[in-house]
Amino acid sequence: MIKTPYGLQLLYGAEEIRRRVQELAREIRADFDGSKELLCVCVLKGAFMFFSDLVKHFGDNVTTAFIRLSSYRDGQKSAGGVRQVGRFAEPAAGKDILIVEDIVDSGFTLQYLIRYFKKRGAASVRSACFLDKPHNRAVKIKSDYTAFTLSENRFVVGYGLDYAQKYRNLPELYELKA
């Protein structure tokens, strides 16, 4: 692994991410054939880069929306609570929804989102997640589409993901070394 001047360790480079996201986008697109509108919901802030790269490959009959959530985290760990920041104004009833998330860690956030859109009468709810961190799972949940899975429990930054709002702008994914 490459040591960087940030004190971060590179996990996935920009080109590897680009290729994997493109591959995942094609897989998703093949399942949603484009005959019906697909509402892609970006979960802010962490998913903004993944979302932007993913939806570029979807082509026709796609709409986009943004939801902002805040999960109560104690340092690098989930404390279990999920709160919505602001109002989600987009009608969801009768729609096929793809939730686009950065990370599934404890699973509380994804569980909240799936329930949220089902309650609003979505026709179907699926999820695409950039990174699966299976080690801290507190609820039994799995994303329908996953770009990468961490084999060890790591705290990661870059490609939209932050630590104290920093590093989101980096095009690669890094492990944060304290």
> What is the per-residue binding string for ligand IMP in 101-140, x denoting contact by CB under 6 A?
xxxxxxxxx-----------------------x-------
CA distances from 116 to 50, 98, 125 (A): 22, 13, 10
Q: Which does 105 bind (CB under 5 to 8 A by kind): Mg ion, ligand IMP, none?
A: ligand IMP
Q: Which of 39, 40, 41, 46 binds Mg ion (CB under 5 A)?
A: 46
Helix (H) or strand (E) holding 33: none
Q: Are 113 and 141 in contact (CB under 8 A)?
A: no
Residues ≥6 apart with Cβ < 8 Å to 164: none
Nearest Cα residue to 106 out of 139, 149, 72, 81: 139
> Minimal distance in Å, beta carbon 43 to Mg ion?
5
Report how far residue 117's alpha carbon sits from residue 115's, in angstroms, rounded to the nearest whole number: 6
Q: Does 100 bind ligand IMP (CB under 6 A)?
A: no
Q: Which of 46, 49, 51, 114 binds ligand IMP (CB under 6 A)?
A: 46
Catalytic residue among 105, 132, 144, 162: 105
Closer to Mg ion by CB, 15 or 103: give it.
103
Helix (H, G, I), strand (E, B) or coil at 41: strand
Report how far residue 77's alpha carbon sits from residue 178's, in angstroms, rounded to the nearest whole number: 14
| Amino acid letter, residue 144 | D
Closer to ligand IMP by CB, 106 or 146: give it.
106
Establish whether 105 is a catalytic residue.
Answer: yes
Q: Which residue has the CB atom at the shortest distance from Mg ion?
A: 46
**List of residues contacting Mg ion (CB under 5 A):** 46, 102
Name the residues annotated as catalytic.
105
